[in-house]
């Protein structure tokens, strides 16, 4: 028997206990490093539930979004558990596509979830997804290259400083790009970064009357700054680079700075995976003098 009656949101090992009567569970998840860590919990789960087989389907982010949205909207039932995020949860919960997680057991302390994360995963006070992790975004940078450039990274940098530092750290002859940013097309790829960046430039998707604002100067300024920065100081083929690709570049010492998800910290500082683990510094996501920073709130 395969479980087809329930679809949960973000996956945690604790959330799988709901399916103790099933013989197999198919789990769709995104192909990032933390989800690889999550899959390593399989052995712990199967020891406690030897009659249940876990089938993992690991997909690139754009493909994951397309497939799980189609599956749940059409009630296809291809996946029993799926990793989604703070965007999908409230929308899908209101469509009754998700089950409220109100029976996670006494050993799962839902009150321990960061309030902002819990709020993004709840509707009418009910939690509809269990976060495996939450994140914002920030600046990761090479302290040695910053020092070599004669600069000191502020705790709260501006975009102008990022541009200045990127120009000075770029050394393409030696394979070093001043800055690495998401360029791969996709809602959760370059648009995740550009939407957050545009906020710091004062841009909006819509005005109070839901009129699109993409033709406004704030969006033009955002995109022009981004394009100019990437042309001058970004890696070759940046349009193919998402989170995973930029992570690899940074770990290989090919990025002076990288502005992306805070969960990357454990990977860039891991001496087993990163060639620059002992040279990494961190700062807040940049602003543009408007009191708004280019960071986001997300959870898988």
In the CATH hierarchy, which fold is given to the domain comprising 135-299?
Answer: D-Maltodextrin-Binding Protein; domain 2 (3.40.190)
13-132 matches 135-299 in fold:
yes
Give the H or E element holding residue 229: helix 217-233
Give the H or E element holding residue 60: none
Beta bridge partners of 284: 138
Taken as a whole, the chain contains a residue count of 300
Contact 10, 87 (CB under 8 A): no
CATH number corresponding to 13-132: 3.40.190.10
| Calculated CA dihedral for residues 79, 85, 90, 96, nearest 10 degrees | 0
> Structure tokens of 19?
């399916």
Taking the model in full, what pTM does it have?
0.86
Q: Which residues lie closer than 8 Å to 4 by C-beta, 6 or more apart?
A: 77, 80
Compute the distance between CA of residue 114 and CA of residue 103 in angstroms, rounded to an integer. 19
From first to last of its 300 residues, the chain has per-residue pLDDT tens of 333 323 344 443 334 444 445 589 999 999 999 988 889 999 999 999 999 999 999 999 899 999 999 998 898 999 999 999 999 999 999 999 998 998 888 899 998 999 999 999 999 999 999 999 999 999 999 999 999 999 999 999 999 999 999 999 999 999 999 999 999 999 889 999 999 999 999 999 999 999 999 999 999 999 999 999 999 999 999 999 999 999 999 999 999 999 999 999 999 999 999 999 999 999 999 999 999 999 999 999
CA distances from 285 to 54, 152, 160 (A): 38, 15, 12
Domain boundaries, given as residue ranges, for the chain: 13-132, 135-299
Q: Tokens 């000075």 belong to which residue?
A: 168
């Amino acid at each position: 028997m395969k479980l087809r009656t329930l679809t949960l949101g973000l996956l945690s090992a604790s959330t799988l206990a709901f399916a103790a009567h099933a013989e197999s569970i198919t789990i769709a998840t995104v192909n990032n490093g933390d989800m690889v860590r999550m899959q390593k919990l399989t052995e712990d789960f199967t020891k406690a539930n030897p009659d249940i087989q876990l089938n993992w389907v690991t997909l690139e982010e754009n493909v994951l979004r397309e497939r799980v949205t189609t599956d749940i909207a059409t009630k296809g039932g291809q996946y029993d558990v799926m990793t989604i995020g703070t965007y999908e949860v409230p929308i899908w919960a209101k469509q009754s596509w998700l089950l409220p997680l109100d029976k996670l057991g006494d050993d799962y302390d839902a009150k321990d979830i960061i309030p902002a994360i819990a709020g993004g995963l709840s509707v009418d006070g009910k939690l509809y997804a269990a976060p495996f992790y939450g994140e914002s975004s920030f600046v990761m940078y090479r302290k040695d290259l910053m020092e070599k450039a004669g600069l000191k990274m502020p705790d709260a940098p501006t975009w102008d400083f990022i541009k200045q530092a990127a120009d000075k750290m770029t050394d393409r002859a030696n394979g070093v790009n001043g800055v690495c940013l998401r360029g791969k097309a996709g809602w959760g790829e370059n648009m995740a970064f550009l939407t957050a960046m545009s906020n710091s430039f004062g841009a909006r998707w819509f005005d109070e009357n839901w009129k699109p604002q993409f033709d406004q100067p704030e969006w033009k300024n955002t995109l022009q700054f981004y394009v100019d920065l990437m042309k001058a100081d970004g890696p070759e083929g940046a349009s193919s680079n998402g989170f995973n690709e930029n992570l690899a570049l940074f770990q290989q010492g090919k990025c002076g700075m990288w502005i992306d998800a805070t969960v990357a910290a454990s990977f860039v500082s891991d001496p087993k995976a990163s060639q620059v683990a002992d040279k990494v510094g961190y700062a807040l996501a940049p602003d543009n003098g408007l009191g708004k920073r280019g960071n986001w709130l997300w959870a898988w």
